Each structure stands twice: as structure tokens, then as C-alpha cells.
Amino acid sequence: MIAFSKHSIPKKIKKIFSDILKTGWFTHGKYTNGFENEFKKFTGAKYCTVVSSCTAGLHLSILALGLKKNSEVLVPAMSHTATSHAVEYANLKVKFLDVNPNSGNIEFTEIVKNTTKNTKAIMVVHLNGNVSDIKKIKNFCKKKKIFLIEDCAHALGTKYQNKHVGNYGISGCFSFYPTKQITTGEGGVVITNSKSFYYKIKKLKAFGIDKDIKDRKLPGKYNVKELGFNYRMTELHAAMGLLQLKNYNKFLLKRKLIAKRYIKNLSNVKEIDFIDYNKDSSYFIFPIITKLRDTLLKYLIKKKIGVSIHYATSLPFMSYYKKKYNLNKTNYKSSIIYADRNISLPVYPKLSFKEVDKICLEIKKFFNYKEK
């Protein structure tokens, strides 16, 4: 069986867990601080705070903007439901945008077409680790006084013009769910280059308490001026993230080599499409597009190859959003095509080139290509 994803948590984690158990210091400690510092170094962001998930980070980011109820937020129709849910949690109005049919990513033309005077923010998703023209989007947002939030759940290691993504918007939110490039089980971080935004997020993630533990003159003495949450990350989770991040450049290189190999092996299969090699993609997965998606998917599963779909339903047509917004399919044609045709092939450091070749061989067999 070739797994769809496998973690690369160094064995050293057992010793760290046992040290944490001995000290009993489960939160607010050296691993959360260490992970935040390492994450700042890796992404080049000025500020970073760990949170309990990317969804929590997106929720806090949108809340921290302080937008009026029912303000419109643009969200690509092709994403994990966490992206649009974060907007809904904050009592704002989601306005879904159709996407590029080959990459599933947000399109600048759609942003321009759908921006109204009520549009106050845009959630950009770097789907599968690929970026659309984020600089152009950033400039547009600046001109129109619209906030830009980057959902970087797939994009650890993705750069655009030499700058790590997540640094283009007011906020960049990353996920450490088990299938992601590094995992803490559940977990996430928010990066930003705005000091005031950073402090807002830090307060909101910890009940709205006004003073960090280390800043309290007397233990237990603090005040609460706003309705915050408990979206913190534990030391155990942070330790896992920190260990993996330290090795991440090596992992990222292997991801890129795997992507190159898929491209080389599959380039003559005319029944499938994929995006050209991009040295700045994080290669969260390797997406292929085919009209025979479901039959190929079933075939690969039968051959014991772990595959997935990101995502199988365009967000406006998930029952919750369908009921709430009642949107017309004709405005989301490309996202529907993408949802019907994409397959995620596995990419992770432990995946061997032999396994990549086997996956490609099975895809070629499915389409009746003879191996040379």
C-alpha cells in the first residue's frame, strides 16, 4: 500500500514529550516560543503566534479586522470549508468567486468583477501550494482599502517573487493537520507584519485576557475587555512542529523532486492535465485533472495507492451554503469542473521515487499507455 500521506516527526520527540511530562509545563513555554521564532525565521514574517488550528487562525484574523456585521468577504469557491466558515463565524457575508479551472485558484478578474462598496476583505487560498498573482491582488486591495487574508494551509514553503506567502496580506494562516507538510496533530499559526494586529490576535486567542502570564505582577491578576476564545497550542504540539520545521528545507526539496518526477513520467499522457513545474510551490500534493476522475480514482485505490481530492464539491454547493445563499451554478462553472476532475497524488518526504514511478505506471496503464 502506498499511503496518501506520512509524517516525518523525528524520533527525538519521545524524549521531548517525556521532558515536558516531567516538568508539567504544558502551555506558555519554550516550545511554543521556539516554534514561533523558527516560523518567523522560515517565513520572514515579523510576528507569529501559534493557535489550535488554521481554522482558529482564520477566525481570529477575520474577527481582528473589526468589520461591521454583513460586510462582504470574497472567498474562492474551491477551498476547504474552513475558509468560508471563518467568515460565517464572524457574522459576515461570504461572496464566493469562481476559480481557474486548471489550478483551482482565485482569479484576479473575478476579484475585480465581484468587488462592491460593501467588500471589506478577501480570503485568498494558495490551493495545493500554488499562488495566483498575489502581488496584483495585494495592490488592488490597497487601492480599494480591502483587507487581504491569506489561507496558507497548503503553502508552507510557497514563495512568490522571493517572498514567502502569508506576508502579502495582513495575516497568513497555516495548518498542521496530519496530512499537511508538517503536523502537530491539530494546530496552526498566524503570521503578520503588523504589530497591532499581532497583539489583537494574541489577546483573542486567549480569552481576551489583557496580560500574558509573564507580564502579570501577581499571579491570577488580569482583566478581560473583550470576548476572546481558547485557541492556544500546547507545548507538546509546538515541540512536534518545531522539530519538523528545523528539517523542513530538506523535506521541501524532496517534495519538489517528487513533483518533477510526476511531471517527467506523466508528460505524454494526454488525458490528464497538470500545472507546469514551479520551483516556488510547496507541493502540498500533486494535483492532476482528468475527465475520468472517479473511475481513475477507484482504479488507483484498487491498486492500493493512496489518493484524495481537494476538493470534490465547490463550496457554494455544500448544503449549508446552498441553503443560505442559493447561488446559481452558471456563475461557478470552473469551480464545478475543477471539483469534478481533480485528483490529489501523494507528495511527502518518505515517498520513494520507486513509489512515484509505480503510481505513474498505474495511471498510464489505466489510460492504455505502453511503458517504454
Q: Are 59 and 86 contacting, i.e. CB atoms less than 8 angstroms apart?
A: yes
Q: Classify residue 273 by its DSSP letter.
A: B
Closest CA to 2 of 277, 367, 310, 357: 357
Which residues is 171 bridged to in the sheet? 149
In the bound state with ligand PLP, the residue whose beta carbon lies nearer, of 54 and 360, is 54
The reply to whether 189 sits near ligand PLP by the rule CB under 6 A is no
The reply to whether 344 sits near ligand PLP by the rule CB under 6 A is no
> What is the residue type of 25?
W
Q: Is 53 helix (H, G, I), strand (E, B) or coil?
A: coil
Q: Say which residue the cell 499507455 belongs to.
A: 369
Binding-site member from 47, 96, 147, 177 for ligand PLP (CB under 6 A):
177
The reply to whether 34 sits near ligand PLP by the rule CB under 6 A is no
The reply to whether 181 sits near ligand PLP by the rule CB under 6 A is no
Binding-site member from 54, 190, 240, 243 for ligand PLP (CB under 6 A):
54
Taking the complex as a whole, how short is the minimal distance between the CB of residue 102 and ligand PLP, in angstroms? Answer: 18
Full 3-state SS string of 128-150: HHCCCCHHHHHHHHHHHCCEEEE
Integer Cα distance of 91 and 87 in angstroms: 7
Binding-site member from 62, 75, 77, 82 for ligand PLP (CB under 6 A):
82
Interface with ligand PLP by CB under 6 A: which range of 32-40, 79-87, 156-164, 322-330?
Answer: 79-87
In the bound state with ligand PLP, the residue whose beta carbon lies nearer, of 154 and 364, is 154
In the bound state with ligand PLP, the residue whose beta carbon lies nearer, of 49 and 53, is 53
Question: For residue 224, is it left (φ>0), alpha (ψ between -120 and 50) or beta?
Answer: beta
Binding-site member from 76, 188, 241, 346 for ligand PLP (CB under 6 A):
188
Contact set with ligand PLP (CB under 6 A): 53-55, 79-80, 82-83, 125, 151, 153-154, 175, 177, 188
